[in-house]
Amino acid sequence: MKNKNEELIQQLIEDQLKGIKPIDYPQEILEDVGLYELLFRELSIETDDPENFNIADKIVRHISRKQHRAESIKYASVIFTISALFFLLTGLSIMFVDPGFISTIVNTAATHTKVFFLIVVVISVVKALDKIFIKKEAQSISTS
């Protein structure tokens, strides 16, 4: 429908609510008015049917799954990009950087393995706690 038709339909519905008889409107607009009235009548019916709530829950779950899947794809692409850059830079450094400099970096990493291990553990714990708290928050939101 065009905006003009929607404005005419709205005017016709307002006139009917006020009790004013319709003037000569085109037949297609009168048909559209009938559809609008049917739509508004059906939407105004409130049901306590639990199946309708199940449908809403299914829709919410479906949307959250799609968002989780999209988020997972984004995270995976970031991890892949970082890994690819790491291997690319490692390969380039092996080819073009002085071997003494590389051995210094490897020795530093070897002597500070506890620090690197701690960093990995902290990141893993933060990620696990983030999932736990977000899951609890999502459950509390869905029950509200």
| Residues making up the chain, counted from first to last | 144
pLDDT (mean) for 19-46:
66
| pLDDT-based confidence at residue 142 (cuts at 50, 70, 90) | low
pLDDT(82) > 70: yes
Distances in Å between the alpha carbon of 35 and those of 7, 13, 15, 28, 56?
15, 11, 16, 11, 25
pLDDT(127) > 80: yes
> Who wins on pLDDT, 33 or 124?
124
Residue 7 shares a structural domain with residue 35? yes
Q: Does residue 75 form part of some domain?
A: yes
- Residue span of the structural domain in which 136 resides: 112-144
Share of the chain above pLDDT 70, in %: 62
pLDDT(73) > 80: yes
pLDDT (mean) for 96-101:
82
Q: Does residue 61 form part of some domain?
A: yes
Residue type for position 94: I
Burial of 67 (0-12, 13-18, 19+ CB in 10 A): exposed
Q: Does residue 105 form part of some domain?
A: no
pTM of the model: 0.36
